[in-house]
Structure 1
Amino acid sequence: MANVVVVGAQWGDEGKGKIVDWLCEQADIVVRFQGGHNAGHTLVIGDAVYKLSLLPSGVVRPGKLAVIGNGVVLDPQALVDEIERLGAQGVSITRENLRIADNATLILPLHRELDALRENSNAGTRIGTTRRGIGPAYEDKVGRRAIRLMDLADLDTLPAKIERLLSHHNALRRGFGLPEFSAQQIFDELSAVAPKVLPYMDTVWRLLDEERRQGRRILFEGAQGALLDIDHGTYPFVTSSHTVAGQAATGTGLGPKAVGYVLGIAKAYTTRVGEGPFPTELMDEIGQRIGERGREFGTVTGRKRRCGWFDAVLVRQTVRTSGIDGIALTKLDILDGFDEIKVCVGYKLDGEVLDHLPASQGAQARVEPIYETIEGWPGTTAGARSWADLPAQAIKYVRRIEELIGAPVALLSTSPERDDTILVHNPFEG
């Protein structure tokens, strides 16, 4: 049995929650390896709906161990609040089912405030973040001034670390003409939350290595999508971490050989939240129709998502940058009833035809999609659980996508319901 990494193959919001939950039954451990509480997963289990931002999806299933790796930036108060929300829904979170890497970087209130200041500024710094402090926390991590979870276990050494952090942030505050942060206030906040989060702390790289050697099946759960990767995404309109599959190793402390199968999640069309390029975006009533039928609003922010046709160029690119072995194609049913469906198969840029999205911000803004038109289908795919339930033209659409992206469809999702899934290949079987 192979350990499995799940990554978004577009800009996020591809329906990872349902697929991860579907895979959770076969996994022993579910691990988050990047991002923070800017990512949202909605899980529908029976009549219960769980909205998760920080916790791995495995926490809602009995007998599974959920792990937050060192690649995640952790807002301790957001963690406590999410644990309490799940508790109100009858889900008990204890050390038995949740562990957090001792070297995970913390998000502090000053990070959230700086994030909002930049987004509200007119200085060209707006990129459409969730204003939850994710980017500033990662900045402090690579700047070697971050407060980490393990620091809460040694309060005697914490004041000096806070002073080191504030030497940077208070200089920024003065630049904004704002009052400086108080080291004592930050210390008091962290010392108050410490007893609530420290029980979950563990040496995660060692824990996962031991579990792996004992044959436990690990599911690595990515957040956002590969096109938001800090290196391989549509920079600067990206998140502040690596979202490609390779981060599963770095963000947990396991070597790359611990990963067996990479499953990419892609919608049968394309959506994006926030600013940045979107070559196939539809600004007409078709885009509106897709958004309304797909209920395209962000899990975390409630922001309306931008909608467009399936971009095979972009997904083919993420298949390569993440080493994707197979795709879980979601929301095929949203395209039911369209007379024709378009798929982007290339770009035009200044008279030249491209087979990939260029890295340049200016070029990304200027590319024009080259479309292939595919006949739609009058029947319904909603709730289909086998290929025999699908209209012939819907099957042709799926097969054409496979050809264009260079990867097979391993799972096909036809509704938010967990059982409305057509399994072609089980990722855990390698």
Structure 2
Amino acid sequence: MVLVSGAICSGKSALVDQLREKHAATVVKTKDLILRKLPRTKIERKALQKAGEKLDKSDGGEWVAEALQREIEATSIEQTPKGLYVVDSVRIPGQINAIRTAYGADVFHIHVTADPAVLKQRYLDRARNEDAGVEYEALKKNKTERDIGQLAALADVVVDTDRCTAGAVLVRATALLDLYPRGGEKLVDVLIGGQYGSEGKGNIVGHIATEYDLLVRVGGPNAGHQVFAEPKPEKYYHLPSGTKRAPNARLLLGPGAVINPKKLLDELAEHSIDRDRLTIDAQAMIISDEDIEEEERLFGNISSTAQGVGVASARKLTGRSDYKSGEKLFLAKDCEDLKPFIGSARKVLADAFVNGHRILLEGTQGTSLSVHHGQYPHVTTRDTTVAGCLADAGIAPSNVRRVIMVCRTFPIRVGGPSGPMENEVDMEEIHVRSGIPLDPLKVAERTTTTNRPRRIAEFDWEQFKDSVQLNGPTDIALTFVDYFGIENREAFRFEQLTNETIRFVEEVERVAGRPVSLLSTNFGWRNVIDRRAW
């Protein structure tokens, strides 16, 4: 869904016509929507402006989203083969917000602008029926038209059409929509945590998930990921975090996954996942009730989540003779409740590679919790780095296109004796620095799986550099940037962030030698600033 805004003669029509011609977009004109709602309106600009303002006044602009939905329902696949719709044009923030609420991450807003003198000359040079006999200055007196420039602050991209050709405008729009074909055979992107877990990985996955055909997750239910949704956030303990954001993507739990069958079945029911969509590799490990009891007994002194993942993982390594006896439940293929979902990860991945499908592999926890590379004994029971995640999924490194390492501005560890962390602060300090109210901070900073309070600390540059070395990321995703200032929650583009935040990002890029491509500003709709150039 592409929303186009801009002043009269800013180049909206040229962009819209090219999107229709080059990308088979279905164009929905708000002029036509006005005429359907108020059929007695004269087809001339001043009358259309007046009618539009009347409709906007009635519901704050929501009428556009409602009329747009009816237009979409009336079109066929043949009419819109790429599923691309262009709205020409949006005029007030209320219209934009209503469409974003309805369609979420599928909405892209392009604002076109030009020097006022150029706009006036373009108007004088053209002739349209709806503008006949109307002076440019008269049209500019309209309040909506006067305020149209304010929509630039809400846009995903702002294009000065007097500084580039119509073709260049199309290029920028096409890149924003990711409509350019991507070459090569590297089809896998890997997303991992760069610190101690709880970096906000689910939030980033929720933003990018719609770009993928297959979503893969490894690890176990000791790591819960959250994605914003209404009326309450979506929580995922086994399933990939993009499960609902990308409803057409297939789902895969790799052979290195560790599964609590009851908890997974509850999760499948909650998110309405059927057997045709999810594949569980036959060799994934099953958690038993005894595993959970044993973990609670053994690992309370290191703040383990005690979900049974560690004991089950150890049993997979040490219990091979027991498995042959058939006395204990080990693998997913032996669990009667999971049999409808059992398959081969290698086959699912091979089919995806053959068909050129994009794959997102989502890791859990964080690099410094790796059993090999973390601060032993305060670690988890698997390798949480990129290499470990690839091994758990059964994906070769040569298939990897991008590695996204997610880091918080202020790293956390679960409360209690969970291990060392440099330069700890408290929530009161974050409250004072950021301006975020203290009570919501305390509520937010509790673990997803066990609801424990978290410890929090200053950004650890040494730990960060180690994680970069271990994972070799191509991109950094930086989360909780509102902790540098609550005003960052109102930033929709990089340059709208506070100066302190921009300086911090620049230093992260300097230390990492990689770009900060994604920044999470809040936990809500449209909460990620996307700077990727993929």
- What TM-score does the superposition give when structure 2 sets the normalisation length? 0.60
Whether 2:444 is the aligned partner of 1:259: answer no
Q: Tell me: higher relative CO, structure 1 or 2? Use CA pairs within 8 A at least 6 residues apart.
A: 1
Structure possessing the higher radius of gyration over alpha carbons? 2
Aligned to 1:110: 290
Q: Is the 8 A contact 1:30 1:64 kept in 2?
A: yes
Q: Is the 8 A contact 2:484 2:501 kept in 1?
A: no
Q: Which deviates the most, 139-148 or 111-120?
A: 139-148
Aligned to 1:406: 513
CA distance in 1, matches of 2:439, 2:521: 16
Q: Secondary structure at the match of 1:412?
A: strand
Q: 2:320 aligns with which of 145, 157, 178?
A: 145
Aligned to 2:199: 14
Give, as a single letter, the amino acid of the residue that structure 2 aligns with 1:9. Answer: G
CA distance in 1, matches of 2:337, 2:326: 21
Aligned to 2:485: 336
Tell me which protein shows more helix as a share of its residues. 2
CA distance in 1, matches of 2:215, 2:455: 30
Whether 2:264 is the aligned partner of 1:58: answer no
User: Deviations 1:291-348 (Å, cap 9, x if unpaired)?
Assistant: 85642110111110101111121111111101111111011112217xxxxxxxxxxx
Q: Is the 8 A contact 1:327 1:410 kept in 2?
A: yes
Alpha-carbon offset, residue 97 of structure 1: 1.5
CA distance in 1, matches of 2:393, 2:503: 39
Alpha-carbon offset, residue 46 of structure 1: 4.7
Matched ranges for 1:119-134 at <5 A: 119-120=299-300, 126-134=301-309
Q: Secondary structure at the match of 1:57?
A: coil
- What TM-score does the superposition give when structure 1 sets the normalisation length? 0.74
CA distance in 2, matches of 1:316, 1:293: 31
Aligned to 2:136: none
CA distance in 1, matches of 2:376, 2:339: 35
CA distance in 2, matches of 1:83, 1:146: 32
Q: Is the 8 A contact 1:30 1:56 kept in 2?
A: yes
Q: Is the 8 A contact 1:266 1:330 kept in 2?
A: yes
Q: Is the 8 A contact 1:137 1:146 kept in 2?
A: no
Matched ranges for 1:365-404 at <5 A: 380-404=487-511
CA distance in 2, matches of 1:384, 1:263: 22
Alpha-carbon offset, residue 17 of structure 1: 0.6
Alpha-carbon offset, residue 147 of structure 1: 8.3
Q: Secondary structure at the match of 2:302?
A: coil
Aligned to 1:350: none
Give, as a single letter, the amino acid of the residue that structure 2 aligns with 1:103. Answer: Q
Alpha-carbon offset, residue 401 of structure 1: 2.2
Alpha-carbon offset, residue 420 of structure 1: 2.2
Aligned to 1:340: none
**Which consecutive residues of structure 1, in runs of 5 or more, have no partner in the other structure?**
121-125, 149-156, 166-185, 338-379
Distance 1:331 1:283, change over 3 A: closer
Identity %: 31
Whether 2:424 is the aligned partner of 1:424: answer no
Q: Secondary structure at the match of 1:328?
A: strand
**Which consecutive residues of structure 2, in runs of 5 or more, have no partner in the other structure?**
1-181
Q: How many residues align?
A: 339
CA distance in 2, matches of 1:50, 1:194: 26
CA distance in 2, matches of 1:215, 1:384: 35
Alpha-carbon offset, residue 243 of structure 1: 0.6
Distance 1:399 1:141, change over 3 A: same
Q: Secondary structure at the match of 2:393?
A: coil
Aligned to 1:357: none
CA distance in 2, matches of 1:62, 1:391: 35
